[in-house]
Amino acid sequence: MLQHRPHTGHAPTASKSVWSLFQDRTFRQFLSIIRKFKWYYVGAISAQLALTATALLFTEASRRLFDQAPDIPGRTITWLLVVFMIVFALQLSLTFVNNWLRSALNESVVYDMRRQVLNHVQRLPLAFHENNHSSTSINIMNNELEIAKDFVVFDVQKLITLPISFIIVGLYLLTVHPLLGVIAIIIGPIQLLSTLVYRNKFKHALQLQNAVSREVFFTMGEMLQGVREVKANQMEDMIHDRMADIQRRGVAYNVLLTNVSTIRGIVKDLPSKLGYVAGVGVGMTMMASGQIGAGGLVAFITLLDKVSEPFTVLVDTINNLQRSISGARRLYEVMDMVEENITDGTSLPEAAPSIRYDNVSFDYGEKANTLRNISFEVPAGRSIAFVGPSGAGKSTIVKLLYRFYDPASGQISLNGLPLPSYQLHSLRQHMALVSQDIFLFDGNIFDNIAIGRPGASREEVERAAQLAQAHDFITALPQGYDSEIGERGIKLSHGQKQRLSIARAILRGASILVLDEPTSALDVETESSFQSDLGQWAANCTKIIIAHRLSTIREADYILFIDDGEVVEHGTMEQLIAIDGRFRRYWDRQNVSVAASA
């Protein structure tokens, strides 16, 4: 925990040609989002082009005004003033419409993308979540999605509107006077060359700053998730020092980025300043020789930026495209991962099934032989316990039953049919888990129990809570079942959380019950009544028990002693004790410690 991790983000693909960017698969995925919201784009782009048209109308009216001044007839003045008023009203209305559409588009795209990513990520196999730090997924859903969204929403519009504006405004200025038009038009390409200055330095500074942002995110996420361990292990100073180091680098990279950007900005502005001087000089000379009126010069000054701007903005937009594609590629890598297929297959019957493992082997990749040739059978409605040292593979056997992972070899079957022939949704619907790792959601107690069976009535929830020995402590709370339990149930004791988790499993009414040391956090009295109640409400379930404690093991019909991924002993409790092997030693050690603590 809280160690420096290598960053998973990709560097911008600086060497890519512009054309290859447009052919990139990620760019094509952008296009599918654009297609979905095409009418917003059509509206926003039309509003922007209409704004360019009003700018031309304004310039043309001004040109006529200044060309004829001071001998302009009163009627023409009135007309021109009316034109100005109409132009201003149109500009205000179009700006409003444009902003409204852009904001609606922005929110629609970002929520749509986030909803799709979240929905997809939760349907990915457990292996994805176990192999990726949660902050990586959150970073993808937040930062990288935002970068991609900025391109999809804003930059795409510029790629369409700016070239059109350049052509229309450039042609207009050429009609005002060819030389002035040419001066305005060539500023853009010169500015384009100026963007090459410090280009790589700028990209490098940007990468450094992005990497630091990701580090901040990662460190904050881990600190908040592990705040108890942070406090208990007095890690505050270590985290503080780490944040101080991040801050030092963050400030340095930000200053570097600002300085490089400022120098690039100055170099970029220079051609337009020089173009302005040249244009005014040429314009004044031509005015003196009567080739143009004052209006021509006014038109040049008004539209100078509108002609040169598209070039430089387009370069920024293409740079953004590189950045967005590299951010979005990680996003789409995740989106391309295959979701679990939860719909195909036959439904599991309501009645408790028999469970059978035949020579099942499995490994997680890094650790070979996590499970080796596991074989056992549990008849319908009976129970089996897995006992053995920590890390032996007990939970992994259960993960295979949930189909969080599939075996590398061997077969698991329910009622004689291979596990993959069952619909995953139906399989998991018929399973309930009471685990020692209890996860409660932020919300009230009622909702947390009702997760076991959405739509359950108040009576059903209360009945489940009674069987789980949770009803009394719940009703003693000021808000009863409506009490909020805080993030991950932080306001409850471990034993109370475990009882809620048991209530949730009871309510589920499953036919396969997985008990992963379900009573580890309960006091002796509550545990013994839990065990006797279990006989009632779980009588019709096939039970798999992961057990460390004698009290839990005692309840099982059959026991497997697992060590290092293998079944080393198996039998009923009496048989295993009689063998006088590993289980017997385990049993005796526990008896001694129970006796010592009694």
Ligand X SMILES: Nc1ncnc2c1ncn2[C@@H]1O[C@H](COP(=O)(O)OP(=O)(O)OP(=O)(O)O)[C@@H](O)[C@H]1O
Using CB under 6 A, list all residues that contact ligand X: 130, 364, 366-367, 370, 390-396
**Tokens of residue 480, six digits:** 């009863």
CA distance 366 to 236: 32
Shortest distance in whole angstroms from residue 155 CB to ligand X: 40
Contact indicator for 554, 523 with CB cutoff of 8 Å = no
Nearest-approach distance from CB 384 to ligand X, in angstroms:
15
CB of 136 to ligand X, least distance (A): 15
Q: Which is nearer to ligand X, 364 or 473 (CB)?
A: 364
Which tokens belong to 262? 């400022």
Residues 6+ apart with CB under 8 A from 496: 470, 473
Min. distance of Cβ 397 from ligand X in angstroms? 7
Q: What kind and span of H or E run contains 394?
A: helix 394-401
Nearer to ligand X, 426 or 520 (CB): 520
For residue 377, give Cα distances in angstroms to 374, 429, 555. Answer: 10, 21, 17
Q: How far is the CB of 494 from ligand X (least distance, A)?
A: 16
Spatial contact of 403 and 126, defined as CB atoms under 8 Å apart: no
Nearest Cα neighbor of 587 from 284, 385, 324 is: 385
**What's the min distance (Å) between Cβ of 489 and ligand X?**
21
Nearer to ligand X, 491 or 582 (CB): 582
User: Which CB atom, from 326 or from 435, has the smaller least distance to ligand X?
Assistant: 435
Strand 371-378 with 355-362, pairing: antiparallel
Is residue 386 helix, strand or coil?
Answer: strand
> Would you state the structure tokens that stand for residue 119, as one six-digit string?
């929905």
Complex with ligand X: residue 17 or 390, whichever CB lies closer: 390
Q: Kindly tell me which of 312 and 396 has the beta carbon lying closer to ligand X.
A: 396
The nearest distance, CB 96 to ligand X, in angstroms, is: 54
Q: Which is nearer to ligand X, 363 or 557 (CB)?
A: 363
Instruction: Please answer whether residues 201 and 5 qualify as being in contact, where contact means their C-beta atoms are separated by less than 8 angstroms.
Output: no
Minimum CB separation from ligand X for residue 557, in Å?
20
User: Any idea what DSSP says for residue 381?
Assistant: T
Q: Are 302 and 59 in contact (CB under 8 A)?
A: yes
d(C-alpha 193, C-alpha 186), whole Å = 11
Peptide bond into 478 cis (omega under 30): no
**Alpha carbon 255 to chain centroid distance?**
29
- Residue 174 near residue 361 (C-beta atoms within 8 A): no
Structure tokens at 303: 């539209």
CA distance 242 to 253: 16
Q: What angle do CA 501, 502, 505 make, to 5 degrees?
A: 90
Q: At its nearest, how many Å lie between ligand X and the CB of residue 495?
A: 19
In the complex with ligand X, which residue's Cβ is closer, 331 or 374?
A: 374
Closest separation between CB of residue 454 and ligand X, Å?
28
Strand partners for 360: 374
User: How many other CB atoms are found less than 10 A from the CB of residue 12?
Assistant: 21
- State in angstroms the smallest separation of the CB of 590 from ligand X: 14
Structure tokens at 190: 């010169």
- Six-digit token pair at 139? 């970073």
* Shortest spacing between CB 388 and ligand X, in angstroms: 6
Main-chain dihedrals φ then ψ at residue 540, nearest 5 degrees: -95, 10
| Beta carbons of 182 and 174 less than 8 angstroms apart | yes
**Closer to ligand X by Cβ: residue 275 or 393:** 393
Nearer to ligand X, 43 or 125 (CB): 125
Shorter beta-carbon distance to ligand X: residue 147 or 392: 392
Q: How far is the CB of 25 from ligand X (least distance, A)?
A: 30
SS3 sequence of 534-575: HHHHCCCCEEEEECCCHHHHCCCCEEEEEECCEEEEEECHHH
Nearer to ligand X, 237 or 437 (CB): 437
Nearer to ligand X, 173 or 412 (CB): 412
